[in-house]
Amino acid sequence: MSVGFPQIKLRWNSIHLKLLTTYLVLTALGTSLLAGYILFSFYAYFMQTRQAELEDWTGALSESVADALEEKDLQRVEVIVQRYGAPQAFTLRVFSPEGRLLASSSLETDIQVKDWFAVPGMRQAFNQQTAKGLAKGVLSQEDRLFVARPIIRNQRMLGVLRMSITLAQFQAKFQTVIWTILGSLVVTFLLCAVISEWFTRSIAQPIQAMSLFAMRLGSGHLGEKLTLNQSDEVGQLALELNRMSERLAALDQERRAFLANVSHELRTPVSNVYVTLEALASGADQEPELRQRFMQTAQEETKRLSQLIHDLLDLGRLEAGITELETQPLHLRNLINRAVRAMESRLRRADVEITLNIPDVELQGDPERLLQAFLNILDNAIKHSHPQSTVSLKGTEEGSQVAVEIQDQGKGISPTDLPHIFEQFYTAERSRQGRGTGLGLAIARRIVEAHGGNITVKSYLGKGAIFTLYLPIHQ
């Protein structure tokens, strides 16, 4: 079963809404700052440009007015003022050194002014200093740029020229610019909102799909797959979740199989003991020979049950990693000799000989656990060997590890059974299921892996099997 994208519902605590809100706030903040900077820069540039133009105009006109004042030609001064002054835009005034108004392009307004020294820039100009800036009109509240320049010729002050320009027209145009920029901001914000919605949805949907997928895994829907057609880190995470789902499903299957096998393996000896005791309770104990046989059966089944429980506990501790290895330096040859001596009676009963060719190398490990691993492999080799055959043990140093091959001359393991030989309760020879617990090889593999090694097996039908244990050499 595959799990696709869920339908996203906006909630205040959803990652989709958080991302969308963050993107929109950042977009609004960024566009507002950019628009403010553009407007400020445009306004400052215009003011500086107009101020510079005003200075250039007053500089040129002051020379013409100076020529007329030197000749005391006030009519010419009036002509210059009326020619270059415009009532709706430019206002041009010329004053005498004493502060008397000589000529004005806005005479009807200017005759109402009683104190020109109170007008911005005039006091500095009469003190032979050029003044400029932004101020209100002489008798109005409109904003105007002005330049008040003293008229000096041959180090003699001839008068003062004041020129101002209204900003009403510019302010009207500037308002149009502001509304245009605000409209552009709104359009930009809406476009960014659409893009942000698409972008956040592309991020939030996979995350929410993986969240729902994880919730389904937690509720027991193992083995499902998450479908995300992405090749980025999110897609890689989805692949890992799918692998986890498959692994959990496999582990759950193994757990179920393990419980089924344990139940089966425990039921057989318990049932045999129960039947034996029931027979004894029914009067079978009156016949000595029958009683002896039943008692022996009960002992064998109890021993088998005890061995099964012991193996299960060992396997459980090894898989959980709670078994502490009592590591110490040990010699491989001595360890193998101990295992062979422990199997001497088994070898004689099976009519099997053994050959040894083990190098004298030193290992670092738990001698009892390693002995258990070798005993389990040897027991398996002897159990599947033909009478009057040989089990050979050969060791070879391979770099920083030693490889110990245990080869029997039995009928071998079929290719279909070979991949499962180390699984719990797996018995390749079904007719031999009652002769062992099916845990020996699994325990051996866990012990070898706990020592930093590994174990492999290969087999040829009719020629036997070769188990190879790789263990690190103690440096």
- pLDDT at residue 370 is higher than 80: yes
Q: Is residue 217 part of a domain?
A: no
pLDDT of residue 471: 93
- Regarding whether 342 and 244 lie in a shared domain, the answer is no
Q: Is residue 176 part of a domain?
A: no
Alpha helix positions (H), 232-287:
233-281
Q: Closest Cα to residue 437, out of 300, 259, 309, 254? A: 309
- pLDDT at residue 446 is higher than 80: yes
- pLDDT at residue 165 is higher than 90: no
- Regarding whether 370 and 295 lie in a shared domain, the answer is no
- Regarding whether 468 and 332 lie in a shared domain, the answer is yes
Per-residue confidence band for 276, with pLDDT thresholds at 50, 70 and 90: confident
Q: Is residue 75 part of a domain?
A: yes
- Regarding whether 311 and 232 lie in a shared domain, the answer is yes
- pLDDT at residue 68 is higher than 80: yes
Q: Closest Cα to residue 469, out of 337, 368, 332? A: 332
- Regarding whether 426 and 315 lie in a shared domain, the answer is no
pLDDT of residue 261: 64
- Regarding whether 57 and 113 lie in a shared domain, the answer is yes
| 292-296-302 Cα angle (round to 5) | 145
**pLDDT tens sequence across 16-39:** 777 778 878 888 888 888 888 888
**pLDDT tens sequence across 98-109:** 888 999 888 888
* Cα(461)–Cα(412) distance, integer angstroms: 5
Of 323, 347, 373, which closes a domain? 323
Q: Is residue 187 part of a domain?
A: no
Per-residue confidence band for 456, with pLDDT thresholds at 50, 70 and 90: very high
- pLDDT at residue 468 is higher than 80: yes
Per-residue confidence band for 141, with pLDDT thresholds at 50, 70 and 90: confident
Q: What's the gap between Cα 40 and its chain centre?
A: 42
What is the residue-averaged pLDDT of the chain? 81
Q: Is residue 256 part of a domain?
A: yes
Q: Is residue 287 part of a domain?
A: yes
* Cα(320)–Cα(394) distance, integer angstroms: 32
Strand ranges, E, within 203-334: 225-226, 328-331
The number of domains in the chain is: 3
- Regarding whether 22 and 109 lie in a shared domain, the answer is yes
Cβ count within 10 A of residue 82? 14
- Regarding whether 385 and 318 lie in a shared domain, the answer is no
Token pair for 205 = 């949907």
- Regarding whether 146 and 95 lie in a shared domain, the answer is yes
pLDDT of residue 433: 42
Residue appearing with tokens 């740029």:
145
Of 301, 323, 345, which closes a domain? 323
- pLDDT at residue 325 is higher than 70: yes
- Regarding whether 342 and 298 lie in a shared domain, the answer is no
Contact yes or no for 386/410 (Cβ under 8 A): yes
Domain that holds residue 36: 18-171
Per-residue confidence band for 463, with pLDDT thresholds at 50, 70 and 90: confident
User: What would the mean pLDDT of 267-277 be, rounded to a whole number?
Assistant: 72
- Regarding whether 167 and 83 lie in a shared domain, the answer is yes
- Regarding whether 330 and 316 lie in a shared domain, the answer is no
Q: Is residue 282 part of a domain?
A: yes
